[in-house]
């Protein structure tokens, strides 16, 4: 009996398996060696059927690897990979030196193993799912044919429709494999990959999580992603490059597997919500799916694999002073009721109390209408206000958006000149969308004249009023509108990023995301938060979630939260400031002196100890600033996160995978601030020797139960024996 691996290996006898070398540069496989197989392989060969060629072509069949899309990084070349392919009447197996892919013929399933251990598997309910225009579904049933050629395995898989065939191309490399799918004999409008969540253990990545729970994502963020239950499980039907949420088509697991879906189309992502125990990754508007599965030794290695595709920051998106002191923004202090005198009093009180800050930023409430870059009557002398802010030693910034409300003077101007995105239904009309401040049009950055018109208005604010920088609070595209000039959502993201990077973003950064946006190096402020303990915990988890999808310069959205809730309690405000002190960037709003409660319509004056503890937290961050700036430089060199989960440095510590209220700042400082009411908490230290900054003692890894931390105390631990140990001990002792 002979086994045939067509166009890849010479004809083989049953004593040999087929080993070929595959590289991304040259897909033509070639024999590189012959070796004796184990008894198991010989047995498999005796049962084997020939690998045969699939014969049914179709426009919707699995495509060849596509070139990079607009603004998207191209895949990097890979080193040659030795591959062994064999099959029997039950399975087809593709093995590299690092992992194996087992394809069950029927029911069709794909299981990925490393060192004999399953690290990722498709769902028992079906590996893939195709949706037709009428809403009916096609599910794969059994492998009809399997062909190894040109460094890839081509499968033709029968489906629930006898006339339709799922085509699957699997291309293995040393630490990953690419999966391209399509369909013949039917037309599909969406294509989904379904994975068994339990096979990967704990799940991470994704970014800010949209769920069906009330208050999400302002008060909830699962960490790990599989920790959520019921309505708190991820279920996002608008997962895409134009989403306001910071999301990324990348996930990874505690088993050191990962998934990257290469698309600029809208996705529907469900992590256990639609189908219990199943991670559903559906790409809409296409019958094809393009996914890469990573198989590594550690989760951090999977993260770095994705950074190798998406890119690392090309620059640091904040000035040195913005890593040292907090940005003060008016939003939670005033909301849109802010006026000139109140804003000046706010700035002066913080200045006189010795609370550090680098910028005073005026949020929503200054425009005559949303989209008009003119001052309303609450600001009789904006240039004089700017001058007074500068005299206190602060920079001055304002909030801006690209939405232009229908009642704005600029709306008619932009409409008449064709500067707004057009309606999908009637391209002769502007697209009208609803955002949190009403109905509006959206400036079409794909129109060069509109781009310049918008940019010129920002330049005039700088020239006429001494505005040093801006808080961009906007979407650059909306999928409900029609794109212009052949652009897609990712291209609009790129245009928005290139516009924003011309200005000082003042530590508030900008919320752009999706594969390739990492290169801009913007500060990322996570989504608005409430003012309670749940919101503080969500802020920490979202910072971790955004960090591990490739955006290292993270800040929680406003120390103390906002979200039109009553002001934070004494404890929440101080503990939030302490947590932010050991994050890359501090972004503040609620004054630790006095704030207006817009819910109960009364002023809240914080006791003096709150102001003192808050000021101490800002000084702690300032002391750590040189260390943080070095981590920022490292992020540019390598893509390494600054704020990272414990298991990035300690992958062999099982407890590290579920710790959601501690993190590493760099590799050498473990932060365990109090994130709940009270004056104590449990602390988990990974294996090794640590210095307890509060108790001035060396401790070994393990669990510290009931660690005492009064309102002025931040539990911090320095890893002993690390290159950064001496400098951290000098600063923190």
Asked whether 468 and 396 are in contact (CB, 8 A), the reply is yes
Mean pLDDT over the full length of the chain: 90
Q: How far apart are the first and last CA of the chain?
A: 74
List the beta strands (DSSP E) in 273-324.
278-284, 289-295
Q: How far apart are CA 533 and CA 541, in angstroms?
A: 13
What is the separation of C-alpha 356 from the centre of its chain, rounded to a whole number of angstroms?
30
Give the number of other CB atoms < 10 A from CB of residue 434.
11
Q: What is the pLDDT of residues 16-56, one digit of tens each?
A: 344 444 333 333 333 323 333 333 333 333 233 345 433 33
Q: What is the pLDDT of residues 262-315, one digit of tens each?
A: 999 999 999 999 999 999 999 999 999 999 999 999 999 999 999 999 999 999
Tokens of 667: 């590799």
pLDDT the model gives residue 733:
86
Half-sphere exposure of 676 (CA within 13 A, CB side): 8
Tokens of 16: 């040999």
633 CB burial (10 A radius; 0-12, 13-18, 19+): exposed
Phi, psi of 192 (to 5 degrees): -130, 145
Tell me which DSSP letter residue 106 carries.
T
The least confident of 37-41, 93-97, 356-360, 718-722 is: 37-41
Classify the C-alpha dihedral 427-429-430-436 as positive or negative: negative
The structural domains of the chain, ordered by start, are: 1-50 (no CATH), 90-310 (2.70.98), 400-504 (no CATH), 643-732 (2.60.40.1180)
Question: Does the pLDDT of residue 362 top 70, yes or no?
Answer: yes
Q: Note if the bond before 434 is cis, omega within 30 degrees.
A: no
Q: Which helix (H) or strand (E) holds 247?
A: strand 247-253
Tokens of 665: 């700042």
Q: How far apart are CA 208 and CA 497, in angstroms?
A: 19
Q: Read out DSSP for 630-660?
A: HHHHHHHHH---SEE-HHHH-TT-GGGGT--
Q: How confident is the model at residue 581 (pLDDT cuts 50, 70, 90)?
A: very high
Q: Read out DSSP for 576-618?
A: HHHHHHTSS--EE-S-SSEEEETTTTEEEE--HHHHHHHHHHH
pLDDT the model gives residue 214:
78
Q: What is the pLDDT of residues 426-457, one digit of tens each?
A: 999 999 999 999 999 999 999 999 999 999 99
Give the number of other CB atoms < 10 A from CB of residue 293.
23
pLDDT the model gives residue 36:
34
Phi, psi of 456 (to 5 degrees): -60, -35
Q: How far apart are CA 533 and CA 538, in angstroms?
A: 9
Helical H segments across 33-122, by residue range: 39-47
Asked whether 604 and 596 are in contact (CB, 8 A), the reply is yes
pLDDT the model gives residue 275:
96
pTM for the predicted model, two decimal places: 0.89
β-bridge pairing 359-362 and 327-329: parallel
Question: Does the pLDDT of residue 4 top 80, yes or no?
Answer: no
Residue 664's closest CA among 558, 722, 582? 582
Question: Does the pLDDT of residue 464 top 80, yes or no?
Answer: yes
pLDDT the model gives residue 64:
55
């Amino acid at each position: 009996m002979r086994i045939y691996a067509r166009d890849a290996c010479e004809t083989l006898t049953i004593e040999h398996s087929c080993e070929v070398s595959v590289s991304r540069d040259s897909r033509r496989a070639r024999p590189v060696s012959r070796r004796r197989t184990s008894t198991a392989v010989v047995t498999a060969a005796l049962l084997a059927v020939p690998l045969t060629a699939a014969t049914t072509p179709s426009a919707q069949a699995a495509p060849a690897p596509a070139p990079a899309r607009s603004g998207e990084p191209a895949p990097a070349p890979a080193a040659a990979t030795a591959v062994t392919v064999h099959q029997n009447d039950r399975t087809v197996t593709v093995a590299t030196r690092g992992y194996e892919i087992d394809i069950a013929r029927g029911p069709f399933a794909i299981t990925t193993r490393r060192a004999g251990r399953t690290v990722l598997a498709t769902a028992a309910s079906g590996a893939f799912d195709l949706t037709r225009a009428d809403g009916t579904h096609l599910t794969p049933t059994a492998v009809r044919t399997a062909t190894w050629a040109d460094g890839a395995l081509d499968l033709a898989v029968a489906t629930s429709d006898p006339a339709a065939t799922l085509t699957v191309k699997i291309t293995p490399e040393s630490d990953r494999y690419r999966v391209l799918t399509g369909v013949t004999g039917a037309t599909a409008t969406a294509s989904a990959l379904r994975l068994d969540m339990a096979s990967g253990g704990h799940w991470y990545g994704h970014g800010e999580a949209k769920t069906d729970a009330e208050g999400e994502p302002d008060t909830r963020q699962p960490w790990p992603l599989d920790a959520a239950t019921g309505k708190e499980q991820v279920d996002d039907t608008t997962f895409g490059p134009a989403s306001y949420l910071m999301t990324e088509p990348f996930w990874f697991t505690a088993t050191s597997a990962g998934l990257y879906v290469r698309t600029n189309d809208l996705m529907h992502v469900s992590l256990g919500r639609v189908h219990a125990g199943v991670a559903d990754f559906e790409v809409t508007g296409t019958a094809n799916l393009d996914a890469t599965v990573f198989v590594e030794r550690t989760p951090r290695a999977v993260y770095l694999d994705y950074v190798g595709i998406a890119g690392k920051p090309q620059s640091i998106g904040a000035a040195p002073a913005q890593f040292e002191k907090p940005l003060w923004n008016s939003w939670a202090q005033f909301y849109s009721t802010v006026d000139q005198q109140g804003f000046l009093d706010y700035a002066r009180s913080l200045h006189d109390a010795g609370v550090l800050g680098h910028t005073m930023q005026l949020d929503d409430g200054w425009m005559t209408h949303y989209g008009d870059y003119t001052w309303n009557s609450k600001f009789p002398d904006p240039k004089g206000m700017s001058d007074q802010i500068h005299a206190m030693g602060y920079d001055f910034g304002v909030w801006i958006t690209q939405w232009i409300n229908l009642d704005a003077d600029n709306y008619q101007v932009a409409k008449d000149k064709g500067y707004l995105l057009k309606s999908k239904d009637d391209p002769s009309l502007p697209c009208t969308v609803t955002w949190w401040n009403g109905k509006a049009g959206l400036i079409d950055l794909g129109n060069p004249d509109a781009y310049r018109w918008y940019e010129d208005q920002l330049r005039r604010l700088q020239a006429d009023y001494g505005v040093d920088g801006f808080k961009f609070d906007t979407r650059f595209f909306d999928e409900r509108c029609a794109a212009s000039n052949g652009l897609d959502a990712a291209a609009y993201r790129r245009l928005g990023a290139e516009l924003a990077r011309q200005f000082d973003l003042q530590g508030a950064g900008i919320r752009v995301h999706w594969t390739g946006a990492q290169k801009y190096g913007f500060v990322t402020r996570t989504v608005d938060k409430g003012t309670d303990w749940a919101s503080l915990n969500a802020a920490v988890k979202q910072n971790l979630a955004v960090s591990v999808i490739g955006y290292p310069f993270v800040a929680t959205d406003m120390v103390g939260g906002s979200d039109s809730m009553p002001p934070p309690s004494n404890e929440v405000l101080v503990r939030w400031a302490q947590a932010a002190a050991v994050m890359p960037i501090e972004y503040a709003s609620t004054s630790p002196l006095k704030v207006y409660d817009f819910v109960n319509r009364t002023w809240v004056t914080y006791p003096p100890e709150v102001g003192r503890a808050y000021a101490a937290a800002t000084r702690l961050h300032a002391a750590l600033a040189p260390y943080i700036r070095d981590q920022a430089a490292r992020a540019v060199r390598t893509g390494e996160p600054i704020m990272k989960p414990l298991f990035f440095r300690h992958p062999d510590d099982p407890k590290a995978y579920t710790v959601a209220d501690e993190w590493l700042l760099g590799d050498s400082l473990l932060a365990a601030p109090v994130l709940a009411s009270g004056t104590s908490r449990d602390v988990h230290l990974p294996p090794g020797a640590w210095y307890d900054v509060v108790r001035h003692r060396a401790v070994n890894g393990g669990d510290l139960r009931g660690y005492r931390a009064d309102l002025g105390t931040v539990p911090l631990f320095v890893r002993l024996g690390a290159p950064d140990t001496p400098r951290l001990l000098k600063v923190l002792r």
